[in-house]
Amino acid sequence: MSNSKTLRLALTALMAALAYISFTFLQIKIPTPGGVTSFHLGNTFCVLAALLLGGVPGGIAGAIGMGIGDLLDPTYVLYAPKTFFLKFMIGLIAGLLAHKVFHIEEKSGKALVWGVVLSTAGGMLFNVIAEPLVGYLYTTIFFGASAQAAKALASWNFITTSVNAILAVVIASLLYLALVPSLKKSGTLKKLARA
């Protein structure tokens, strides 16, 4: 395995671990009649991984990190398949926007800032829409919850997902922009892009 592939694999694993830790330990759970939702910072590392590595590795990092978080928490264990899907899609969308639409690895200054913010916002906008919708379908179809209970959960999911999205966009964008100068100077950013 080449050094750049090893670096990408290690960074994907690191982002998955950070997504797990921030989802599991930096979380405020909110019980609703249809299930549980939460405020958390797990999405931050999903979109940060997508910015650094691309859509598929970013999606994998988020899906693994937060999926494992679900599997290890009795409150969320049955939601793990939904989490794997949604978090993978967040990373995929953010990475595609970052590297195929905005080409952030080639940008600097305001163009870089806008590309980073719009890419993370695109991934998180997907989640703000999809999380309540998929959650509603998931709780009614798989858990047999009443439409009223599923609607209550979807309403709370929309609120918590929106707050989580804003936090993820701000924090991931700031982290990426803080890391870029050092990564460019060391040549690591090129290694990540080439692998």
Q: What is the dihedral of CA 46, 50, 54, 55, to 10 degrees?
A: 60
Bridge partners (DSSP) listed for residue 32: 35
pLDDT for residue 195: 47
- Given pLDDT bands bounded at 50, 70 and 90, which one contains residue 157? confident
Between residues 132 and 76, the one the model is more confident about:
132
- Domains present along the chain, CATH in parentheses: 3-194 (1.10.1760.20)
pLDDT for residue 1: 57
Tokens linked to 58: 């970013």
As to burial, measured by CB atoms within 10 angstroms (0-12 exposed, 13-18 middle, 19+ buried), residue 38 is buried
Between residues 63 and 32, the one the model is more confident about:
63
For 68-115, write each residue's pLDDT tens digit.
999 999 988 999 999 999 999 999 999 999 999 999 999 999 999 999
